[in-house]
């Protein structure tokens, strides 16, 4: 099995890993219900209807 010719320094290793961190997903406050939602996505309200930017975009399924 091949082995590296030189040791990778802490600096080079750190630069390579600089983009590996996990970030929390972005959240926004819903205007109507006040709950946290993912931006640019429709979300289901308590009544079963879909909402986008605080406006109802589909009817509830009851």
What's the pLDDT tens digit per position in 6-61?
A: 999 999 999 999 999 999 999 988 877 788 889 899 888 888 889 888 788 888 77
The domain spans of the chain are 26-62
- Cα–Cα dist 60/26, whole Å: 27
Three-state DSSP state, 2: coil
The candidate with the shortest Cα–Cα distance to 40, out of 22, 30, 48, is 30
- Cα–Cα dist 15/4, whole Å: 18
């Amino acid at each position: 099995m091949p082995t590296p010719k030189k040791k990778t320094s802490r600096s080079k290793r750190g630069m390579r890993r600089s983009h590996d961190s996990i970030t929390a997903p972005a959240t926004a406050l819903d205007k109507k219900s006040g709950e946290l939602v993912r931006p640019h996505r429709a979300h289901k309200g308590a009544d079963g209807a879909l909402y986008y930017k605080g406006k109802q975009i589909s009817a509830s399924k009851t």
